[in-house]
Structures are given as C-alpha cells and as structure tokens.
Amino acid sequence: MRRGACVRPHPLRPEESTPCTEITYSTTTSSSIRRGAYTERTMRQSLILRGVAVLLVVLAGIAPATAFDGLTADPVWIEETTYDLCTFERALGSEERTAAATYIANAMEERGLSVGTGRFSYSNCYFDPPLALSSNIIGVREGANDRIVVISAHYDTAVPRTPGADDNAAGVATMLEVARVLNGTPLNRTVYFIAFGGEETGLEGSTRWLADNPDLHDRIVAAINLDCVASGDRLLATTLPQHRWILDALPPSACLEETPAGLLDAARGDELAFRAAGIPTIRLYERDSYAIIHTPDDRPERLNYTLAAECARIVAGTVVGIDVAGEAPQVDLRIEDGTVSFRASGDTSVEVIVDGTSLGVLPSGSVTLPGGTHVVQAIAYGPTGEKGVATAMGEGVEIAPPAVSGSGITIPWGSRAESGTGSPILLTFPAIPLSYRLDRSEGVVRVDGYLDGVLIRDLEDGHAAIPIPGLHSFTVAAYGADGTALGVDRADFSLWSAQMVELDGGLLQVDEAGGVACSASARTYTYNYTPGEHYRITVGCDYRDTANVFLQTAEFRVDGPGGLKYERRLPDLPIFNDSRREEIGFWLEPEGPGTYDWIIFCSEGDREATETGSRVLR
C-alpha cells in the first residue's frame, strides 16, 4: 500500500507534525483469514482537511518526550483487522458473534496477551452454540504491580446485515494495535484489553464485567474507551471534570480536540459503565460517521486508518506516560458546623463524595451537610493517576431547600413540580448535570443547588454529579443581593436502571441426539451488597429435538430463593424435528448480605440434570 498524508504542523513544536488524514493511491492487501464481501477493496476517496481550530490537550510534564519514542502504530494492521471483523455478522442473535469473538481472542494471543472470556446473557436473547450467550474477550498484559489500566472497545453491531466498520470494528482493531505497539515495552502497570459484547443493547458487556469483578475496581487507575475512531480527520476526547487528569496525560496531537462530556447525550458508550462505578475514564471518538453508523453504509473502505493509527499512538503513549511512579496528593479534610473544608497538596482539584454520591470537583467550603450523620470523602489525583483520599464522618446542620416558587429559574431536564408531588423522572445516565436556566438574570447574584438536601453554594450550570442508585431530588434557587429567593425549581429523579444487574443464571440443555441427554451448568457470583440493587437472572433452555422420541416432554425448571418456582415445558412434536431455545427469567431482590441460591433442573423421560447457582453478597 502506498500512502500519502495531509499533515498539520504542531503549534507547540513546529518541527514536529502528525498525519491526520490519509490519501490512498492504491490498495493491494490480502489476508489468509479474510472472507466475504470485503476480499476485494474499494479505493477510498481523498479526504479533505477541514479548517477548524482545535483545542489541544497538552501533555503536562508527566513523562519526558523520550517516553513516547518508538511508539509507532501501523494503519495497515488496523485496516486489515477492520476488514476481517466486518466479514462477521455481529448483531444480537447472530451465530457469527462467536466466530468474531474467537477471531479477536486469537488476535490478542498473537499480540502476547493472556486471553480469557466472560459470557453473559441478554433479556430476550438468542443463544450462540454451544454455551455462550454473548461474550467479553479479555486480554491481559501483566505488569510489575497490581495497578490496572483498561483499554476497551465494543465489537457488536446494532443492526443485522450492517458491516459496523467505524462502529466499532475499527475501534477493536485500534485497541489490538495498541496491544501490538506495547508488546515490547516494559510496564509497571497491568493493562487489560477488553472487547465488550452487548454495548449496542445497553452496555451489557461492560456493566457485567464490572459487576463480576468488584475486587478490581480500586486497582483500576484509568479506563480508555475507543468507539468510532476512524472517520474524518480529528478525534474528540471527553471525560468528567472529576477525572481531568487523564486529559492532561494524553500525548500532544494535532488531531485531538477536547470536548465537554455530554452527560445526557444519547450517544454513549461503555465508558458510562466505568463512570457509574466511580472509575476515572475517558472516551476517544469522532462524530464524522454519525450519519452512517447503524446503516449498511458504515463500510471499511470509507474509513481513515491514519486517524485510527494516530488514536492508537495516543493511547499507547498515555499508557506509557502514566506508567511512571508518582506521589499521591496529600488531602486534609474536616467538617465544622456541617460545612466541608479541605486542602490538597499542589493545589490539586478535589472531588467531594457525600454518602456515596460524587458531587464533583468543588472548592473548599462550598458544601454544607443537612442534619444527620454523614460520611464524606475528598479525593485528589496526581498527574499519573495516583489517588489521595481523606475520609471523615460528621454531623450536618438543619438546612432545607426552599419551596418551589416563582419562574426565575428552571431545571431544563426536569418538570416543575411541588416538593414531594408527581412521579420522579427516570434517568439511565450515571452522571447527572446539575443544570439550570435563568429565565431572568437581572438581579441574580448567586445560584445554590441542593442535591438530596446537601447544599452546594454558587453552583455552576451543568456541574457534573454521580449519584448512587435510587431516588434523588435536585433543587436550584436563584438569590438576589438581599438574600431573597427570586426563583426556585425542583426535579425528582430515579436512577432505576443502575440498580438492576443482569446475571447469567445458567444453561439447561436437553439433546435427543444418540439418545436423550440432559445437562445443566450454573455458577456462583460474589459481589458487595448494595442496598436497593436487584437482579434479573436469566436461565437458558435449549431443547434439541433430533430423534423424534414419541410423546416425550422436556421439562425445564428453576427453584428460586424463597420457594419460588419457574417452569418451561416443551412437548415433543413427532411429526418433525423442532429444536427450540427459550429462557426462564426471574427477579432477585436481596434484603441484605448473605447467600442466595437457585437450583436449575431439566428432564426428559428418565433422564435429568440439576445444578445450583449462587449469589453471594458480602
């Protein structure tokens, strides 16, 4: 392949330049494992550089420039892998998802990773043979210590019979290229490369992996998610203000632009699952392909693989840059008369967490606790992710949000309601913007916010908070110079979906091939107990009628906690073979820590199988 590149000079270092846009003159690439519609490629059209001003994300003295020397990504590798993945049907219900997962696992092994998989079930799912419902593929590059950096990309597609090139075959290919680039680089921190399944159906794979691995959460320094990274000529980087240090850790690139986190943006990815878990995370993406994703036009010949290679270089450079040892900031925290005060070394920004809810980055003295006993944390991050934490328990004071009144201020995503009336708004976003709109700004000198009664003085519009699962209230009040409330609005909301975890409850199988055989498989899950969290447990029922045993009935049963029983009976139809796949689903709503068991059972005639699944809550 002969390539040319349109190049932008780097404004800070004119002697350096970074290719952002690729012009391809000819393509002659082959692969022994490529098949299907993309064996012959279509020549790509030249991409024209846009005259846009970019806000550079500048490396802030984290590592010397030599730390990034030799980290060169190859667009040809990324292109070949993208074409290969586009030959697999990867939408929900496709049996080729298993072949795609196998391809990714093999590619990880070729890049020196230790590979494992984690299967999970969907609601209303179709099963992949023989046991996998859907899978996450996890490749681990062991480091010298137990601290972890996660690099992720989802490999499923949203719609059948669409290639899913930019969304997100190229993201997976870029992640694999990062693994190849880092293969010979000694690292202190362990790197997890994860290809998530089920992103398009609700972040299923990432949510499940985090739920299955609670012991890893505190060890994860940062998570970098790649989703749509190979179209156009620039990349966008977004993170929460709480985790701004990751942006500062990115190597300089003329192709990179910072963009604010769209907290209520429908275009969301697996980074939200990490965000909900309180793990510092960043998403790298572009918006040039948004008009064609989830359509047959999202084809590999349309993509800019030089941009994807630049993305791989940025990610690899970030991993190396934050791998150097650093000191965690020192944080002092105190609670006096309900007001939270703190100080961090080096004038580092501080995230405030009250009773598990992150109030975001706030100045000292701006938070006052309501009556009762509260647990407060103040968290500050060093330039390479070292976390300094101070914890204090203290009493609040008797404060209360003012009653809704006037029309001077409104919450744009809420609905005006009197306190305690009406149904709460259901939100599925882990980070909530504490936003407001001043209908009349004249005379307003201060806006205060109240999240679940916690007072935040001088609240900035759009301030990001991460509430715990459950019901919440948010009140904003605009005040005049004399302290009079000029307008008050309130929104009640619930993070109900964050309270639900889906579990693969096991698989029951009755197979008449060569005589009736019954099998059952289940597993044990161990999590930390979270009040209000509940679980949907799905058990797959696979009936393979191949022998036409006359008038036999296959029985599938689950004996759930509390004596509840759930059944499926599939009668044999002797006229024709009628293999079927169904599911049994039930809800588990634990009242506290403990072990919750369910027994799965299947039988046909005198053949039967049984297994026990468990949910251990600590």
Alpha-carbon distances of 161 from 90, 124, 244, 482, 556, rounded to whole Å: 9, 20, 39, 64, 33
Coil vs helix vs strand at 241: helix
* Mean per-residue pLDDT over the chain, rounded: 81
Using DSSP, state whether 161 is helix, strand or coil: coil
Alpha helices of 194-289 — where are they, by DSSP H? 204-212, 244-249, 271-276
Q: How far apart are the first and last CA of the chain?
A: 56
State the pTM of this model. 0.73
Beta-carbon contacts of 557 under 8 Å, excluding residues fewer than 6 positions away, are 565, 566, 567, 568, 584, 600, 601, 602
pLDDT attached to residue 122: 55
Task: Say yes or no to pLDDT of 54 above 70.
Answer: no
For residue 548, what pLDDT is reported? Answer: 60
Kindly report the number of other CB atoms within 10 A of residue 138's CB atom: 22
* % of the chain exceeding 90 in pLDDT: 52
Pairing mode, strands 281-285 and 220-226: parallel
Rounded distance between C-alpha atoms, residue 148 and residue 141, angstroms: 10
Q: Provide the pairing of β-strand 524-527 with 331-336.
A: unpaired
- Tokens 């299955």 -> residue: 212
Report d(CA 560, CA 281) in Å as an integer. Answer: 37
In this predicted structure, the answer to whether residue 219 has a pLDDT above a threshold of 90 is yes
Within 10 angstroms of residue 187's Cβ, the number of other Cβ atoms is: 16
Provide mean pLDDT across the span 31-41: 36
For residue 241, whether the previous peptide bond is cis, meaning omega lies within 30 degrees of 0, is no
The secondary element (H helix, E strand) that includes residue 354 is strand 351-354
Closest Cα to residue 31, out of 73, 78, 97, 72?
Answer: 78
- Considering the domain delimited by 409-495, tell me its CATH architecture: Sandwich (2.60)
Share of the chain above pLDDT 70, in %: 81
Query: What are 353-364's pLDDT values in tens digits?
Result: 999 999 999 999
Contacts of residue 32, Cβ cutoff 8 Å, sequence gap at least 6: none
* CATH number for domain 2-15+55-321, candidates 3.40.50.2300, 1.10.10.60, 3.40.630.10, 3.90.105.10: 3.40.630.10
C-alpha count within 13 angstroms, C-beta hemisphere, residue 190: 15
Cis peptide upstream of residue 136 (ω within 30 degrees of 0): no
Rounded mean pLDDT, 32-54: 31
- For residue 404, pLDDT over 50 is answered with yes
Helix, strand, coil shares, percent, the chain, to 5: 20, 35, 45
What is the DSSP pairing of strand 367-368 with strand 454-456?
Answer: antiparallel
Look at residue 294 and tell me whether its pLDDT is greater than 70: yes
Two structure tokens written together for 284: 């790298």
Cβ 531 vs Cβ 558: under 8 Å:
no
| Lowest-pLDDT choice from 75-79, 133-137, 553-557 | 133-137
- Residue located via tokens 């292109």: 79
- Does residue 552 contact residue 518 with C-beta atoms inside 8 Å? no
Q: Residue 355 burial by CB count (10 A; 0-12/13-18/19+): exposed, middle or buried?
A: middle
Please give, one letter per residue, the 3-state secondary structure of 501-523: EEEEEEEEEEECCCCCEEEEECC
Query: What confidence score (pLDDT) does residue 5 get?
Result: 34
* 506 and 613 Cβ atoms separated by less than 8 Å: yes
As a whole number of angstroms, the distance between CA 432 and CA 270 comes to 17
What pLDDT is stored for residue 504 in this prediction? 82
Q: Does this chain's domain 2-15+55-321 share its CATH topology with 498-617?
A: no
Q: Does the 498-617 domain belong in CATH 2.60.40?
A: yes
Amino acid at residue number 518: C
Residue predicted with more confidence, 379 or 561: 379
The dihedral formed by the CA atoms of 138, 158, 175 and 242, expressed in degrees to the nearest 10: -90
For residue 321, give the H/E element and its range.
Answer: helix 305-321
* Boundaries of every domain in the chain: 2-15+55-321, 331-395, 409-495, 498-617
CATH no., domain 331-395: 2.60.40
Hey, what amino acid is at 347?
A: D
Confidence of residue 53 (pLDDT cuts 50, 70, 90): very low
pLDDT reported for residue 232: 92
Is 90 exceeded by the pLDDT of residue 315? yes
Strands 148-154 and 190-196: parallel
Residue 582 binned pLDDT confidence (cut-offs 50, 70, 90)? confident
